[in-house]
Amino acid sequence: MARVVVEVMPKAEILDPQGQAIAGALPRLGFEGVTDVRQGKRFELEVGDDMSDDQIAAIAESLLANTVIEDWKVVRVS
Amino acid sequence: MARVVVEVMPKAEILDPQGQAIAGALPRLGFEGVTDVRQGKRFELEVGDDMSDDQIAAIAESLLANTVIEDWKVVRVS
């Protein structure tokens, strides 16, 4: 078995209201010095050792990310 | 400015219905070989160069993660 991480983040040109809400809340809660926050998703997949990068890319693209508004990246952890 | 990533994942002993739904959907959609999926959150923060690890940990712990059910990890990217 191998562990694969898929990181999904809103594209740079897409507004991220969740991240903006966090960035706005931080100074009110006493945390200064954070200028921008973007929120995305992180998936940890346990996959068979024979699973190819192409197969994982197909899963990320078709099921885990909305490629209209999100970028995704695959990181093999082990 | 520095970029910091905060990874927030459900604790190992916590059920993760979103991840289970994805793991259940994959075979139906023709993707075999994924035995487990866990879904968490990923935050990208732009912070001042003088922000300490302790300050970022405080933000992660108090605002970004629910420490009852989630683990968090800070990764300095640049």
Model pTM score: 0.93
The runs of H, that is alpha helices, within B5-52 are: 17-28
Contact residues of B toward A, CB < 8 A: 1, 7-9, 19, 22, 25-26, 29, 31, 33-48, 50-51, 55, 58-59, 62-64
C-alpha–C-alpha distance, residues A1 and B57, integer Å: 32
Number of domains observed in the structure of chain B: 1
* C-alpha closest to that of B16 among B44, B45, B36: B36
What CATH number has the domain bearing residue A57? 3.30.1280.10
C-alpha–C-alpha distance, residues A1 and A38, integer Å: 31
For residue B78, pLDDT beyond 90: no
Report ipTM for this prediction.
0.93
Is there a contact between A1 and B33 if contact means CB atoms under 8 Å apart? no
Q: pLDDT for B26-67, tens place per residue?
A: 999 999 999 999 999 999 999 999 999 999 999 999 999 999
User: Phi, psi at residue A63, to the nearest 5°?
Assistant: -125, -35
Residue A78's pLDDT is 76
Mutation target vs B (from A32, A37, A51; most B CBs, 10 A cutoff) = A37
Please give the residue of chain A at the shortest CA–CA distance from B52.
Answer: A33
Range of the domain at B26: 2-76
For residue A38, pLDDT beyond 90: yes
Residue A39's pLDDT is 98
Is there a contact between B8 and A45 if contact means CB atoms under 8 Å apart? no
Q: With the CA atoms of A18, A23, A25 and A31 taken in that order, what torsion angle do they form, in degrees rounded to the nearest 10?
A: 150
Does residue A1 contact residue A49 with C-beta atoms inside 8 Å? yes
Residue B5's pLDDT is 98
